[in-house]
Amino acid sequence: MPLTWAQVFARRMRRHGLIEPVPARRLAEQVGVICGAHAQVMSAAEVSIGLRVAGVTRADVRAALWEERTLVKSFGPRGTVHVLDPRDLPAWNAVLAAARQPPGFAPGVRLDAGELDAVVAAIDGALTDATELTIDELDREVVQRAGRWAGERVMPAFQELWPRWRQAVTAAAFRGVLCFGPNRGNRTTYASPRRWLGEAATSVVAADEATRLMLRRYLHAYGPASPEHVARWLGASPAWAKQAFRFAGNEIERVTVEGDELWQLAGDRPGRATKGTVRLLPYFDAYAVGSHPRERVFPDRASERALARTQAGNLPVLAVDGLVVGIWHQKRSGKKAALTVEPFRRLTAAERRALDAQVERIGEIQEAAITMTIGTVSAGPHA
C-alpha cells in the first residue's frame, strides 16, 4: 500500500496528541502511547506531556509522578531516564533487559554475572528496607550488603571514578528492583517499584511477549519504520531488531512511502494530512527522537541545524505538520521565560498565529509568563 510522508507525519502527530491533545483523564495512557517521555531534563518532559494532554501543567505531571503515582520515572528506551505509564513498566523492563547491551567497561572494572547478581540483590534489599535513598546512601548500603569490592572507585564517569557497583543501576531497574523516587531538595532518590507502585509493577512478563508489545507500540506511534530505526530508538543491536520483526509475523506488513520500503502494523490506515499544525517540541521530545528516517523528518537545513551528528533531541525544534522547520531556545528567570524561535523558512500568517498560540501554551504548562522573539538561536546543544 503506497503512502505519502504527509500522511505518515499526520498519523504520527495525531497519535502523539500533537494535533488534538487528549483529555486530562488519559494522561498516563498517552504517555504509554508515545512509549514514554524522555526525562533526563525533567522540565522538558513536563512540556512534552503537557503539549499532548489538554490543560495539563507541570504541577499536574509532578502530582501524577509523586502523589498519585499514575506515572513513574525509570529507565526506558536507550537506557535513558523516561517518564512511563506504570502499567507498562514490567514489559519495558523485560524488553530492555533482553535488548540492551551491557556497559563496555574493561576487565577489572566490568561486573561479572555473579557480581552483578550480588549488586542487584544488595540494591533490592536496601530499597526494600527504606523509603527512598540517594545515590550516596545507596553507596553505603550496597557496599555493606555486597562487600567492599562493590565500592572500589574504578568506573570512569564524568571525568572521575565512581564506585564499581553503579554500573548496575540500569540493570537493577530492568530487573524490577529500582525506579526513581521524588527529589530530596536537589538530590535524586531511588525507590523500590514494589513499595512505590505496588506488586503489579514487578510482575514478570516474558521477553517475547514484551518484545511484541514494544514493537506494536512503536509502530503505532512512529511507524512505518525499519528494524534499524527500532534498534536505534531502543538502543538495541540491528540483529536483535530484525529478529523482533521476524517474530511479529503477520502482525506487521511492508509498505512503500514515496519510494522508502518500510514496515507498519498490518491494516493500519493512512493519516489525514494536516495544514498549519505548529508545535514547539522541547529537548529530546519523543516525536523528534523516535521518528525516522531522519532525512524525511529533518529535511534540508534542519539536518544541519537541528541534529547533532544525526542525533535528534539535543536541540528543541519547531515542527510544522510533522516536519522540523526550525529550532528554539528558552531562558528562564523565576516565573518569567524568554523564548527565541529560529524558523528555517518564512512562516505564513496562519503559521505565525499558531506559533503565538503554541508559545502561550508552553507558558501555561511551565506556569510562567513567557515572551517570544523570532531570531537566530546561538545556544548549542543542551544549552
The confidence score (pLDDT) of residue 208 equals 93
| Three-class secondary structure of residue 258 per DSSP | coil
The stretches of 71-206 forming alpha helices (DSSP H) are 89-99, 113-129, 135-146, 169-174, 193-197
Return the H-helix or E-strand segment holding 33: helix 27-33
Q: Residue 161: phi, psi to the nearest 5?
A: -115, 125
The confidence score (pLDDT) of residue 2 equals 85
Burial class of residue 260 (count of CB atoms within 10 Å of its CB; 0-12, 13-18, 19+) = middle
pTM given for the model: 0.95
The confidence score (pLDDT) of residue 16 equals 98
Which residues are CB-contacts of 353 (< 8 A; sequence separation ≥ 6)?
Answer: none
The confidence score (pLDDT) of residue 81 equals 97
Q: Which amino acid is at 161?
A: L
Largest CA distance in the chain: 66
Tell me which DSSP letter residue 348 carries. Answer: P
The confidence score (pLDDT) of residue 383 equals 55
* CA distances for 89 relative to 211, 230, 318, angstroms: 13, 19, 31
How would you write the pLDDT of the chain (383 residues) with one tens digit per residue? 689 999 999 999 999 999 999 999 999 999 999 999 999 999 999 999 999 999 999 999 999 999 999 999 999 999 999 999 999 999 999 999 999 877 778 888 899 999 999 999 999 999 999 889 999 999 999 999 999 999 999 999 888 999 999 999 999 999 999 999 999 999 999 999 999 999 888 888 999 999 999 999 999 999 999 999 999 999 999 999 999 999 999 999 999 999 999 999 999 998 788 889 999 999 999 999 999 999 999 999 999 999 988 899 999 999 999 999 999 999 999 999 999 999 999 999 999 999 999 999 999 999 999 999 999 998 877 65
Tell me which DSSP letter residue 308 carries. Answer: B
